[in-house]
Amino acid sequence: MSDAGSGGWAEHGIHEHLAHIPHARALGVVLVEYRDGHCVVRVPYSEHLVGDPDTGVIHGGVITAVLDNASGMAVPRQDLAPEQRAIATLDLRIDYMRPAEPHKDLMVTAECYQLTRSVAFVRARAWQADDEKLIASSVATFMLGANRAVPPGFNNLEGAK
Amino acid sequence: MKLLRELRAEGKGQDMAALLERIPYARFLGLEVDRKGNELTTVLPFAEHLIGNVALPALHGGTIGAFLEFTAVIQLLFDTESERLPKTVDISIDYLRSGRPVTTYGRAIITKHGRRVANVRAEAWQEDRSRLIATAHGHFLLTPVDE
């Protein structure tokens, strides 16, 4: 797998990709780190993400959405044929270890640990800025080549290597 | 929890629409609930910011996951008096079809309701109830009112 960690095609592509996901934009997802098969994102704490108005803690659904998003971005696209780059989540299982603390950014790291011809296996962890304790972890599987629509940012990776 | 206590005091203990109005993230999603007798259906009208794939277009997987989680929690709150919002212990989501840019509906069934933990199944569909777009099952930690 090629590593395009700093300023390569892949990084450019993933930024373009993220910018074209309306729900990620609405949640405020920011890409912190990226290489093919691995990514770290941050979601700044924001009032509209609150699930419990008494405590100000963000809703579990936000964590679900960000784990799903980061896991999808961690599916390595560089070595895939263009028609394989459109992915669809098959399943996502999330374990919640502890409630998030209010007023802290949400961080998610995702890593694709196995890739077959048609399925990608990804695990992800959620924690909060300046605190290493896990708040949630997930495993997800993604179907590769799920449809013909090549996602924005992944349409011209040729020549990247 | 203040929120649930307030709603009960106002006689809105089972008014899930009133609850959703007070949860910022539910307002952000645009989540609604439709009640017919003792049957609840969660409703997620389509909105641009719920999209995950603009090329298709399709709803974001996270949107659907969050919707199913809400569907399960709302059913639990409707069925049981609870001191706090149920805490998700785990949730497992199966994505069956891509979510099209139309209204999504959800229903949940409590498979097993223990004293501290409930096991809940939820499903989501769009125009055709027999063509589910996603299902979920999860465990939720409960805080009964008398504790």
| Per-residue pLDDT tens digits of chain A, which is 161 residues long | 334 344 454 566 788 888 888 999 999 999 999 988 999 999 999 999 999 999 999 999 999 999 999 999 999 887 777 777 888 899 999 999 998 999 999 999 999 999 998 899 999 999 998 777 899 999 999 999 877 666 666 665 544 43
Q: How far is CA A15 from CA A20, A79, A87, A139, in A?
A: 9, 18, 17, 23
Domain assignment present for residue B38? The answer is yes
The answer for A 58-117 residues in CB contact with B (under 8 A) is 58-62, 64-69, 72, 86, 88-96, 99
- pLDDT for B90 equals 96
DSSP for A11-54 reads: HHHHHHHHHT-HHHHHHT-EEEEEETTEEEEEE---GGGEEETT
- pLDDT for A156 equals 54
Q: What domain range is B92 assigned to? A: 2-141
Domain assignment present for residue B83? The answer is yes
pLDDT digits 0-9 by tens, B111-123: 999 888 999 999 9
Q: Report the predicted TM-score, pTM, of the whole model to 2 decimal places.
A: 0.89
**From CA A129, how far away is CA B110, in angstroms rounded?**
35
Beta bridge partners of A42: A30, A107
The Cα of A43 is separated from the nearest Cα of chain B by a number of Å equal to: 14
Residue of chain A with shortest Cα separation from B139 = A95
Q: What CATH number is attached to the domain comprising B132? A: 3.10.129.10
Q: Which two tokens stand for residue B119?
A: 């096991």
Residue labelled with tokens 């409930």: B118
The contacts of residue B91 (CB under 8 Å, 6+ apart) are A60, A64, A93, A94, B65, B68, B69, B72, B136, B137, B138, B139
Identify whether the C-beta of residue A73 lies closer than 8 Å to the C-beta of residue A37. Answer: no
- Count up the domains in chain B and report the number: 1
Eight-state DSSP code of residue B98:
P
Query: B50 CB near a chain A CB, below 8 Å?
Result: yes
Query: A149 CB near a chain B CB, below 8 Å?
Result: yes
B74 contacts in A (CB within 8 Å)?
none
Domain assignment present for residue B146? The answer is no
DSSP for A81-137 reads: -GGG--EEEEEEEEEE-SPPPTT--EEEEEEEEEE-SSEEEEEEEEEETTEEEEEEE
- pLDDT for A2 equals 38
- pLDDT for B1 equals 61
Domain borders along chain A are 9-144
Residue-averaged pLDDT of chain A: 85
Domain assignment present for residue B147? The answer is no
Eight-state DSSP code of residue A139:
E
**Which residue type occupies B54?**
V
Eight-state DSSP code of residue B144:
B
Query: B115 CB near a chain A CB, below 8 Å?
Result: no
Q: Which two tokens stand for residue A108?
A: 């998610």
B21 contacts in A (CB within 8 Å)?
none
Phi (first) and psi of residue B91, to 5 degrees:
-145, 140
- ipTM value of the model? 0.89
* Segments in chain B below pLDDT 70: 1, 146-147
The fold of the A9-144 domain, in CATH, is Thiol Ester Dehydrase; Chain A (3.10.129)
The Cα of A46 is separated from the nearest Cα of chain B by a number of Å equal to: 10
